[in-house]
């Protein structure tokens, strides 16, 4: 592997939110990366020792991982009206970054195992001032992630606002299943989640 340039690192480095909370996923278990894109979070989880499942409508940017031990790639369009391709499967970690399609939100949250962790970060209303996406269909409403996650998951951390680098106006949440240690009052250090 070649050393990444600063520019490459900025585009391939995981979201700090994902990096912060990934340690809360039980080691060696399976992590789902929804709308994987180029696979920056999928690759981060794989390097951290997790088995990974990448789900995207176009997996061509992940072909270098195809056939690698611990990697499953699923090419599926979540927005074409077909059934959710992972119905019935549950994961120790579910990562979603910069993706929102409301009709699939409950299925994505439902893919979190009882002892698993949801790590979700995407654009929120207010982001239209800074660029795309600007369509309200792709911007979270205030508290939308909390309301979607809270019936089944325990909210560990939540943020809503302008990121210092970007500029991106986002909502992000880390929420765990009811049997995750964090839901059972096992403390973690605030600010590190690890």
Position 186 in a domain:
no
Show Cβ contacts of residue 140 under 8 Å, excluding neighbours closer than 6 positions: 100, 122, 123, 124, 125, 171
Domain that holds residue 22: 15-176
CATH code of the domain covering residue 46: 3.40.50.150
| 166-36-191 Cα angle (round to 5) | 50
Mean pLDDT of 8-26: 82
Position 185 in a domain:
no
Dist CA 59 CA 49 (whole Å): 21
CB of 141 closer than 8 Å to CB of 125: yes
**Hey, which bits of 35-144 come out as E strands?**
51-56, 71-75, 91-97, 112-123
Position 6 in a domain:
no
Cβ count near 8 (within 10 Å): 11
**3-class SS at 34?**
strand
Residue 188: both structure tokens together: 């973690």
Residue 132 burial by Cβ neighbours in a 10 Å radius (0-12, 13-18, 19+): exposed
Position 190 in a domain:
no
Mean pLDDT of 18-40: 95
Mind listing the pLDDT tens digit for each residue in 34-85? 999 999 999 999 999 999 999 999 999 999 998 899 999 999 999 999 999 9
Following CA atoms 9, 14, 16, 19 in sequence, which dihedral angle do they give, to the nearest 10 degrees? -130
Q: Which neighbouring-strand residues pair with 93?
A: 31, 117
Position 131 in a domain:
yes
Mean pLDDT of 129-158: 88
Position 165 in a domain:
yes
Number of domains in the chain: 1
Mind listing the pLDDT tens digit for each residue in 95-142? 999 999 999 999 999 999 999 999 999 988 778 677 787 778 888 899
Dist CA 40 CA 167 (whole Å): 20
Position 168 in a domain:
yes
Position 167 in a domain:
yes
């Amino acid at each position: 592997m070649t050393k990444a340039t600063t520019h490459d690192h900025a585009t391939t480095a995981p979201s700090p939110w994902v990096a912060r909370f990934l340690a809360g996923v039980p080691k060696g278990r399976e992590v789902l990366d929804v709308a994987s894109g180029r696979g920056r979070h999928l690759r981060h989880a794989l390097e951290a020792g997790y088995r990974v499942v990448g789900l995207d409508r176009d997996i061509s940017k992940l072909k270098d991982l195809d056939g690698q031990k611990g990697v499953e790639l699923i090419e599926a369009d979540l927005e074409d009206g077909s059934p959710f391709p992972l119905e019935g499967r549950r994961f120790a970690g579910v990562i979603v970054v910069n993706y929102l399609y409301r009709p699939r939100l409950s299925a994505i949250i439902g893919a979190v195992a009882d002892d698993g962790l949801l790590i979700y970060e995407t654009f929120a209303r207010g982001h239209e001032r800074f660029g795309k996406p600007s369509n309200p269909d792709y911007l979270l409403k205030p508290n939308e992630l909390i309301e979607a996650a809270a019936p089944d998951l325990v909210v560990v951390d939540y943020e809503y606002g302008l990121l210092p680098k970007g500029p991106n106006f986002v909502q992000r949440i880390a929420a765990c299943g009811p049997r995750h240690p964090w839901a059972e009052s096992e403390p973690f250090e605030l600010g590190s989640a690890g």
